[in-house]
A and B are shown apart, each in its own frame.
Chain A
Amino acid sequence: MHLLLVISVQSITSYLATCAFGIIFNIPFKPLLHGGLIGMIAWIIYFFLFQSTGNDFTATFAASFIIAIMSQIFARVCKNPVILYSVAGIIPLVPGGLTYSVMSGAVGNNYEVAIYFAEKVFVLSGSIAMGLIFSEVLFQIYEKIQFFRHKRRSGVILAHKGKFFSK
């Protein structure tokens, strides 16, 4: 019962937070709702991976990988730029609170705390970027395979009509 409460609170709040950030970034209305869904799924994945393994690098990487795949799919289906969905999706994951902790530590003369958090910010944002780029590369490979398949098939059809060597 307690677990159910935690899941529902986390998913509702992450959906709302993502949509609200989308309004600040002026994302149009329909992609806003899809982006909220992506952000919610990513946050749930991150939350449970982090709670079970205690390693936020892996959890962030996995979540951002899922975000990028989902945003590529949404972007292709709805014919919108990928950035609409990926920016909305990474909002719950980005190390904003940590960035604040870095600077408040540095301003308050706690340099050790500041450097600890700064390294964490660097690693986490790097893992988000890696997750995004990783799935982009996967999509490019997929497209290349489709392209070659299409080329071969159309080449066969043209050869059948005797036009294969015409150019």
Chain B
Amino acid sequence: MNGFLEKFQKKDGTEGFVHEVAAVCVLAGKILLQNGAETFRVEDTMNRIANSYAVHDAQSFVTPTGIIFSIENHDVTQLIRISERGTNLRKVTQVNTLSRKVAQGEVNLTELQRLLVHIDRSTTAYPDWLQILAAAIASSCFLLMFLGKWQDLLPAFIAGGAGQGGMIYFHKLVKVKFFSEFMSSIVIGLIALASVKIGIGFEINKIIIGAVMPLVPGVPITNAIRDIMAGDLVSGLSKSAEAMLTAFAVGIGVTAALVLD
């Protein structure tokens, strides 16, 4: 023995506690990452939680597809794979509030674990009909913001709502994001085309751009470039690849519908 392992033997009594802290930190990071928080905020929150339980020297590495979390001087390393990502900022807010309380020392470890599991399992979201209505309103508002005609309001409203409805329905049917984006942009293209043919719509391009706004990855592209600027090169590049794929699906879908013209 050259004295290297004694360090571990001394802290033997605290090893179980350190494992628990690592498990809780990774759970918090998983919830944040799955629901659309920025990469540096996920790393920051995990390190802060570990710090507030007096476990220093925590290292975390976050990419969009997985988290590696380890604590130096203890043989604790946790790896978690993230396969599905969405945007649910309500859960991000809840975890953020919780980590604030942890930093003030108001929540102990068992309680924190229970609350995090509760947040992870909860399905509180705005109902589907409200999301469809929101997408419809957003589409018709974007039409006016891009200086479209007043007469095109109704087609954009219908097409945007149908696009979001299709997105929710196809996503329940098949868990492939690319497929549901493709199918719902076909629906949008068909409705826009039909409205111009019937005569209630005039500028087909403006209608389509308004209606695909809830689908196209404007926010993901901006977040990707922001990650790259903040130094998270791996997650920035993989997020921009995902955004490109989404844009590709929407472009192909709408063009496939317009071929029928």
Listed in ascending order, the chain A residues whose CB lies under 8 Å from chain B are: 9-10, 13-14, 16-17, 19-21, 23-28, 31, 43, 79-81, 83-84, 87, 90-92, 94-97, 99-104, 106-108, 121-122, 125-126, 128-130, 132-133
Contacts and interface: CB of A to CB of B under 8 A. Distances in A.
Given A91-B218, A102-B247, A25 B230 contact: no
Chain A interface mostly: helix
B92 interface: yes
B110 interface: no
A126 B230 CA distance: 12
Given A23-B126, A80-B93, A106-B251, A133 B222 contact: no
Chain B interface main SS type: helix
A80 B91 CA distance: 12
A99 B135 contact: no
A92 B242 CA distance: 21
B222 A94 contact: yes
Nearest to A130: B229
A107 B141 contact: no
Interface string B222-260: 101110011000000000000100011011101100000
A83 B221 contact: no
A96 B88 contact: no
Given A21-B214, A23-B131, A99-B218, A84 B255 contact: no
Contact of A13 (B126, B144, B216, B229): B144
Interface in B86-121: 87-93, 96-97, 100
A125 B252 contact: no
B2 to A, nearest CB: 35
B212 interface: yes
